[in-house]
Structure 1
Amino acid sequence: MPARDRALLRAAISVTSAAGTAFRWCLRRRYELAPAAVSSSLTGLGWLHHASGVGMGEHVVYGLSTAATAALTAGGVKHKKSVLAAAGAGMTVVLGDTWINAGAGPSAPAFVATGITTLGAYCVYVPWLLRRRDERMRLQIDAAKAGSLPGALGIGAGAPGVTGESEEETALRRALTALGIPPLDVTALHFTDNGWTALVTLPPGRRTSAEAVISQRQQLSANLGLPGRLLLSVGGQDNQLLVRMQVHDPLAETIPWEGPSITSITEEIVLGRSPDGSEVRVCLLYSHTLIGGATDNGKSGLLNVLAGNIAAAVDAEMLLVDMKPGAVELGPWRDCARAFADTPAKARALLRMARQEVERRGGILAQLSKETGKPVRKWIPGVHGTAWFVIIDELAELIRQDPKLAKELESLRQLARFVAIHFVEATQSPSKKVFGDNTDARQQYQIRIGLGVTETTPVNIIMGPGALGAGWYLNELNLPGKFMISSRSPEHAEPMERRAFMMSDDQIAATVHRYGGVEVVELISERPLGERPKPPEPPQGPPGGGGGGERPGGGERPTLHVVPTYPDGSEIPNHRVALWQAIEKAGPAGITLNGLVSLGLPNVGSRTSADGPVQQWRAKGWVVEAGKDENRAMRFRLARRRTATAAAPVKEKERTTVGG
């Protein structure tokens, strides 16, 4: 490149840089001078080009460029594309002005062209500027009507310079103002070891609501320019925004399970911890629960925590459905369950069992209402019997294998809560088909627990319509066991990251060992559900009475053994017979847990192994307390068995054992 051209290029770059600096200064400080600055810059560039010499080739380029932008303008007008028409008209004026100044240099035609260009620019710029000012003033007026404005917020709030009492507040005010939503007030700004939080009061209006800001969270985070992870949620009022900036993740470490937190299902179960270290509590009674999340995000861990607590409750029982091959998730809890299903056929039988129990309990409540003369509308665990929890893992797989079960589940969810039969359902793939193509079925879950998901689509399915826009970002839960919970409790009203306890395999085994030994109902489709298998009939002798102790084919008749049974007529499992008979043998005086252990009974090697079955029998009313011995240890004895005639007129106090 010749030296002269290099000098001209450097001059052009310098002029352009200076023009850009002047333009930015005008926009920031003296915005009314912005069009004049642009026009003057173009004139200077044109004159610089004139000084370097403009030949025929340059005139051809200018002409073709101007014709092209004019054609773009005509096309935008013809096809009613206002953006294209405005852009084409602006570029045509700019190119025309530059062309005239480059060709004529400092002369009368050049000044006329520059004047026309500047006048046209102001004709467009002034109306736009007035609209922006009117909108900003209208926003300020609305804000003033809603409440007092902060001192830092004035008519110029739409421009940079809004400041607060700290760096974080200033950044937050400016970031919101850059979105076109200047805050009315920023309060409750406080700092923690993990970051800081603030409560922002927003101007009234749909486009300035908390939901509108939440939908622009990514842009707000970029505007803030502060380190950390921005979390937004709706505050206590519709026009309040709760802002949380998380600099350090307090839930990064796994939280070991601390053991069962309840002894009665009427108490709150502790699921895990919140970022501030507080416990996450939830009461499952009279509520159905939905647990949703992608694979490997901690769904099994939450189910284990729930199962471990329900097993420890003396007034609750579990019925388990696990559709994973081998029942690897709920299978370890089999000994703590009243019924267990790992195939669609067994699941159908289990649901029929639940429906029969709903009808039976409803009949009992109706009878109690007649006897007491006042309505008894709810089945109370510990008073009328136990609460049932039907826990279903892989709900989507169950419905996929047997679609008809979706309607049956929907019906049971509607009918079963008042008799304390609850459903806890977990799925990796929540969709409309999982709920029988009926979105209303999802409204039956009073408790929703959302784990991490890989995309935003499942968020509204798990947490409810509009959850994503309200800040329930399940797609941003970045560690297994992190969850968000929504329930009727005010503590669960806002979206907040929590983390569930992690239950080890050893803890599962120890919990099952302590609370296991529940008599499992065998699920067979052909047998009426809820009916226990009958003991085998003793062998019969030959027709006519036979002779002596001989069998028809010769030899002695086999000895007949009495089958030990519980008070409800069901057979006692072999591994529990010795323990039951030891309590029975103790008589009215009863026997302590240490006394049972000292007998050296099979399957009773410690207080824990004796305490689990005894507590289960106490919940059913088959074992009662017989007082304390000299060491203040509780003695246990068998409750008296009632005859069929004595059991018929059941009084309200005697109903405590019904439904076990």
Structure 2
Amino acid sequence: MRRYGIQPVASITDDLDIAPLLITSVGRLLWRYRSELAPVTMLALLIGTGTILHSSYRLWWPTVAGITALVAGVLLYAGRWVNLTRPIERAYAATATAFAGGWLTTSTAHGPFTKPLPLVLAIGCVVLAAPWWAHRRRRARVRVERTLAAWPDIAQAAGLAGSRVQSAIVDLWGYRFRLGLGLGQTVEDAVAAVPRLESALGSTRGGVRVQPVASKKANRADVRVIETDPHANAITWPGPSITFITQPAKLGLFEDGAPVRVPLLRRHGLFGGVSGAGKSGGVNVLLGELTACPDVILWGIDLKRGMELQPWASCIDRLATTPQEAEALLRDAVIVLDGRADDLAQRGKRVWDPSPARPALVIIIDEYAELASEAPQAIDHADSIARRGRAVAVQLVAATQRPSKDAMGKSAVRSQMDIRVCFRVREARDADLILGQGMVKTGWHAHKLDAPGKFLISSPDHDIPRRARTYLLDDHGVHTTTERHSTHRPSLDAVSVQALERAAEMPITEDAPPPSREAEKVLMAALRQAPAEGVRINDLMRATRMRRTWVYQRLQDLARTQQAEQVSRGFWRATPEKHAQ
């Protein structure tokens, strides 16, 4: 306008009432910046309270001092109950309370304007205001409050008109709020609106999570906005969290820092995800937890010639690396299952209670799809274990990239998996294969996981899609863990051993030679010729041309008569004294 010679003019007439507008504007500014003005507000309250107490209740100063000491102590030692989670925050709250209470006590007795009380109050308020103004969580809380104050417009833009914010909490990684959905809206509607919410809230792509509330109310949803990814860096495994399989194992951390605890007893498990997504890391953490339990026997199948499970060999009682060994292992597991079931029936019990003398049997199968293609006959045994193994504590844990019907061999195995851990997948439909049909539509977006080790877990204890990251257990950590745990591993229980012995005495197929004294001679010769570190079970099987169950039975007999000894897990030799004779 000035370019054309026109000057703006403000015209004030008698009809314009400025005072209400001015008061309203100032009030809005004071309310908007109420957090920043909190130290000034506190200074005014202290002066006013000190004036009233000095004029009317001058003798109350000991009471004020006592209340100050009590409140400061509670804030210092129990401040976490009022959301003061960090020690420095509790120390600041206690210091500010002590200063305010001390000044109020003095002003009650001598008057708030007695020198040097005004100067002390001014200096104290300035000193204590600096940390308040600089506090990151306070500034974040103010920013979140201002953002959510515009929720009606945000909801309208995101297609959730009529919804309302009921409460909000700011944490280290962002903020979360409870959303009351509008009439007729569902959690699925909120999940579908996530991309629009990310745009309206100004967050990063993939930075908004929507999930049902724990109370199962259909008209409520929890919304979490991630501003700083808590899982940006790997989380080192802190060590085993359990000492018995009856305790819930800790597999990683959720985005809010809560541990991912999963009960393992009587539950089959499925680990799925593309290559490089972190399946092997998740299995390593599971093995680290289970090897610490003296009431668990571990068997393993790794058809990649032991590349994944071989580092755990000293803690795994039996490891199959070929299709033939895998089939024999699962066949023997079914024998153990049947033997335990017979024992429970004879004793009038319904479930097998694991203990060091009667341990649970957990079978880890890496790349289950390879087992289905290379040892199809083993799938029948796996199917039987999946359907009947829970009561007798014979459990499966399978890892695979894509658990389709072809990869799993039989759908019964996949349907029996109670614990499903889904790492990153390429397509949304792959998440449904791992987690269950229709899970993607309800917010289980495993195809949006953006780093190795991140996963979603579905189990009877975890029915809400919460992102988590598994711990990092590297090769050095595996070596250290196996050295620590290998000396405390249990032996197979007597019931299971007897079942395997009875099966070994039954007529065998034509493709295996019958037990003979010649085989026993070959076995003793191999044990006598074994080096100091012993000879492997597989080598003894090749030398005698006998099955594992026969070799295992004879070794146990020789150990009882002190003719042979177990040097380490899976390695045997003749007893030195007997060998010398």
Give the alignment of 1:285-364 within 5 angstroms: 285-324=265-304, 326-364=305-343
Structure-2 residue corresponding to 1:232: 210
CA distance in 1: counterparts of 2:556 and 2:341, whole angstroms: 32
Q: 1:209 to 1:431 in 2, by over 3 A?
A: same
Q: Check 1:257–1:570 CA distance in 2 against 1; reply closer, same or farther (3 A cut).
A: farther
Whether the aligned pair in 2 keeps the contact of 1:234 and 1:470 (CA below 8 Å) is no
User: Given the alignment of the two structures, is residue 473 of structure 1 paired with residue 445 of structure 2, yes or no?
Assistant: yes
- In 1, Cα distance between the equivalents of 2:282 and 2:430? 19
Distance in 2 (alpha carbons) for counterparts of 1:484 and 1:571: 48
- Structure-1-length-normalised TM-score: 0.53
- CA 1:274/1:465 → structure 2, altered by over 3 Å: closer, same or farther? same
Indicate which of 468, 484, 493 corresponds to 1:498: 468
1:172 shift after superposition: 4.1
Change (3 A) 1:344 1:183: farther
The residue type paired with residue 219 of structure 2 is N
Equivalent-residue separation in structure 1 for 2:562 and 2:336 (angstroms)? 18
Q: SS at the partner of 1:418? A: coil
What displacement does 1:184 show?
Answer: 3.9
In structure 1, the partner of 2:565 is 572
* Cα offset, 1:531, TM superposition: 4.6
The CA deviation string for residues 269-315 of structure 1, in whole angstroms up to 9 with x for no partner, is: 12122223232211210100010011111111111111122112111
Residue in structure 1 matched with residue 257 of structure 2 by the alignment: 277
Question: Contact 1:288–1:413 (CA<8 Å) still a contact in 2?
Answer: yes
SS in 2 for 1:469: helix
Q: Does 1:379 align with 2:349?
A: no
Aligned with residue 260 of structure 1, among 240, 243, 254: 240
Aligned-residue CA RMSD (Å): 3.4
Distance 2:367 2:562 in 1: 35
1:425 aligns to what?
A: 398
4+ long deviations beyond 6 Å:
517-521, 527-530, 532-535, 576-582
Give the C-alpha shift of residue 398 in structure 1.
Answer: 1.4
- Rounded to whole Å, the distance in 2 between the matches of 1:234 and 1:568 is 62
- Of the candidates 400, 412, 419, which is equivalent to residue 373 of structure 2? 400
Give a deviation string over 1:120-165, Cα, whole Å, max 9, x none.
Answer: xxxxxxxxxxxxxxxxxxxxxxxxxxxxxxxxxxxxxxxxxxxx99
- Closer/same/farther in 2, CA of residues 281 and 444 from structure 1, 3 Å limit: same
Cα 1:171–1:336 shift into 2, 3 Å:
same
SS in 2 for 1:446: strand
Amino acid across the alignment from 1:410 = D
The Cα of 1:264 is off from its aligned counterpart by 1.3
Aligned match of 1:20: none
The residue that corresponds to 1:245 in the other structure is 225
For normalisation by structure 2, the TM-score amounts to 0.60
Where does structure 2 lack aligned partners over 5 or more consecutive residues? Answer: 1-142, 493-499, 506-514, 523-554
Structure 1: 5+ residue stretches without partners: 1-163, 370-375, 522-526, 540-561, 585-660
Choose from 427, 441, 447 the match for 1:455: 427
How far apart, in 1, do the equivalents of 2:298 and 2:393 lie? 12
Shift of 1:567: 4.6
Whole-angstrom distance in 2 between the partners of 1:272 and 1:515: 21
Question: Superposition pairs for residues 422-571 of structure 1, below 5 Å?
Answer: 422-436=395-409, 438=411, 441-489=413-461, 492-516=462-486, 531=504, 537=520, 565-567=558-560
Contact kept in structure 2, 1:274 and 1:499, CA below 8 Å: yes
Distance 1:171 1:565 in 2: 79
Listed one character per residue, the Cα deviations across residues 232-271 of structure 1 (whole Å, up to 9, x for unaligned) are 1122312222111100001111111122222211112121
2:440 alignment partner, SS class: coil
What SS is found at the alignment partner of 2:182?
A: coil
Does the 8 A contact of 1:352 with 1:529 survive in 2?
Answer: no
Amino acid paired to 1:497: R
Deviation at 1:514, TM superposition (A): 2.7
Query: Residue 365 of structure 2 aligns to a residue in which SS?
Result: strand
Counterpart Cα distance in 1 of 2:151 and 2:561 = 68
- 8 A Cα contact 1:519 1:573, kept in partner: no
- 1:562-585 deviations in whole A, cap 9, x for unaligned? 998345999532459999999x9x
Counterpart residue number, 1:194: 173
Are residues 340 and 221 of structure 1, via their aligned partners in 2, closer, same or farther at CA, if it must alter by over 3 Å?
Answer: same
Equivalent residues of 2:403, 2:414 under 8 A apart: no
Q: Which amino acid aligns with 1:572?
A: E
Task: Say if 2:402 and 2:433, in contact at 8 Å, map to a contact too.
Answer: no
Question: Equivalents in 2 of 1:419, 1:230: separation in Å?
Answer: 43
Aligned match of 2:194: 217
One-letter identity of the residue aligned with 2:322:
T
Instruction: Report % sequence identity.
Output: 32
SS in 1 for 2:222: strand
Distance 2:575 2:245 in 1: 30
Superposed CA deviations along residues 565-614 of structure 1, whole A, max 9, x for unmatched, are 345999532459999999x9xxxxxxxxxxxxxxxxxxxxxxxxxxxxxx
The structure having more radius of gyration, on CA atoms, is 1
Name the CA shift for 1:187/1:334 in 2 (closer, same or farther; >3 Å): same
Cα contact 1:356–1:529 (8 A) shared by 2: no
